[in-house]
Structure 1
Amino acid sequence: TSASAASTVARFCQRLGFDGYRQFRAAVIAALGYDDARLGEFDLGEGEIDAGDAPEEIAAKIAFQEVRAIQATMAALDLDATARAAAALGGARRIVLYGAGSSSLTAQDLCQKLARIGRPAVAETDVHLALSRAALLDADSVLVGVSSR
């Protein structure tokens, strides 16, 4: 069973895009080392906010998490899809944005940013109003649904 377990681990690593277990292990070590380096950059012992943290520790931990989120976004970003979305927004006669709960804040923020560059957009936070607006959209319109988990 030891040989079959090793081959299972190797196949798993290959499905993740690595040549094998050694390359996977090196990537994990590098990733952990990278986070440790970022923690050192922000002068943090650990990244979680604790009730007893001083204001400067809280600010540093938030900065660390924001940098980490931006890096994760960049790593996962599909640049072709982003370019297509930008082109659609740039050519739209009408833009409807929809977000519920905390996602509505993101939709409203995007609506304001689009208004600053002269793009006709409206942000809906009520699902019924969003559905009514969506039903009236045509081929020259874009509907953007926002979900920030």
Structure 2
Amino acid sequence: MSIQSTIEAAVGSLSPSLRRIAETIRERPTIVLESTINDLAAECGTSVASVVRFCQAIGMAGYAQLRVALATELGKESAQFGMPAAYGADVSPGDSLQEIARKISSLELMAIDETIGSLDFEVLERVVGRFENASRILLYGVGASQFVAEDLQHKLFRIGRDAFVLSDPHEAWAAAALPVSGVVAMGISHLGETKDTLEFLRIAAENGAFTVALTGVPGSAIANAADEVLYTRARETTFRAGAMVSRIAQLALVDCLFAGIAQRRYHYTVDALRRTREVTRGARGV
């Protein structure tokens, strides 16, 4: 997991003074390379001791280690994706539309790269097996996570799997409360603290379902509540009216999950996709 993604995942659990440091680095990661520890503390309106505590909170021994690690990370990312030194930086007030597009593109490319690069394939294999053998698949998310759930449900439905997206929390809890054998329930939440999603997983588990969480934060509430956890890695932008970069990471992981399930019945899947494609093409021609 990259330093910047570690900071992104930790923001919600930090104290106010440490959160200011995290948010400053999220917006302009190169500030660590350009500033002494005293300069960074002054920029964030906090103390040198707080900067040290921040470094320790994200697994660094101190500021010197953070500077070296972040310099290495930014250098690798710039070389890998061919972006300028501001690679990985957040959108700023003075950016042109071209710069905004480049920054969004770089963040989304990194999200996919880091998510797949850090994926625990043994966990994914077990989740694929559970989905493959499920009698019923229940999917739930709030806001942008619901769109990801709908994307997975659409794909699974096209290959004959009984998958349901539950958009209303009461509907989701009611479905989760039914003690049907072989149910798999997946809750999707980037920060992993959405109360309705957590309640959905709790009720499902109490009634015998196998539960899966898809989240970007290790140690989050839904990660602790689920039988298996699939993690995304993403650095969100300031403009989070709805999830942007994290949504791309979730969709990439959902695609891997779907492909694993579909491959288990390869010939049936190919035939099912052909049939559904042909019938929808025919309907458009009516």
TM, length-normalised to structure 2: 0.40
The amino acid across from 1:88 in the alignment is: R
Residue in structure 1 matched with residue 75 of structure 2 by the alignment: 33
Residue in structure 2 matched with residue 119 of structure 1 by the alignment: 161
2:124 to 56, 61, 82: 82
Could you say what secondary structure the match of 2:126 adopts? helix
Displacement of 1:25 after TM fit? 7.4
Residue in structure 1 matched with residue 151 of structure 2 by the alignment: 109
Q: Cα 1:66–1:142, aligned 2, differ >3 Å: closer, same or farther?
A: same
Listed one character per residue, the Cα deviations across residues 31-83 of structure 1 (whole Å, up to 9, x for unaligned) are: 131133356x1457453223443333222111100111112212432111111
The amino acid across from 1:98 in the alignment is: Y
Q: Cα 1:62–1:25, aligned 2, differ >3 Å: closer, same or farther?
A: closer
Listed one character per residue, the Cα deviations across residues 107-127 of structure 1 (whole Å, up to 9, x for unaligned) are: 111111211222111101211
Residue in structure 2 matched with residue 148 of structure 1 by the alignment: 190
Could you say what secondary structure the match of 1:143 adopts? strand
Residue in structure 2 matched with residue 73 of structure 1 by the alignment: 115
Instruction: Give yes or no for contact 2:136–2:162 (8 Å, CA) kept in 1.
Output: yes
CA distance in 1, matches of 2:169, 2:135: 22
Residue in structure 2 matched with residue 96 of structure 1 by the alignment: 138
Could you say what secondary structure the match of 2:91 adopts? coil
Could you say what secondary structure the match of 1:132 adopts? helix
> Could you tell me the percent identity over the aligned residues?
36
Unaligned runs of 5+ in 2: 1-54, 192-286
Residue in structure 1 matched with residue 90 of structure 2 by the alignment: 48
Listed one character per residue, the Cα deviations across residues 92-111 of structure 1 (whole Å, up to 9, x for unaligned) are: 12111011222211111111
2:101 to 33, 52, 59: 59
Residue in structure 1 matched with residue 260 of structure 2 by the alignment: none
CA distance in 2, matches of 1:101, 1:81: 26
Q: What is the total number of aligned residue pairs between the two structures?
A: 133
Instruction: Give yes or no for contact 2:140–2:149 (8 Å, CA) kept in 1.
Output: yes
Q: Cα 1:54–1:116, aligned 2, differ >3 Å: closer, same or farther?
A: farther
CA distance in 2, matches of 1:23, 1:120: 50
Q: Cα 1:42–1:118, aligned 2, differ >3 Å: closer, same or farther?
A: farther
Q: Cα 1:57–1:28, aligned 2, differ >3 Å: closer, same or farther?
A: closer
Could you say what secondary structure the match of 1:77 adopts? coil
Could you say what secondary structure the match of 2:149 adopts? helix
Displacement of 1:147 after TM fit? 0.8
CA distance in 2, matches of 1:28, 1:42: 16
Instruction: Give yes or no for contact 2:78–2:85 (8 Å, CA) kept in 1.
Output: no
Instruction: Give yes or no for contact 2:78–2:84 (8 Å, CA) kept in 1.
Output: no
Unaligned runs of 5+ in 1: 1-11, 17-21
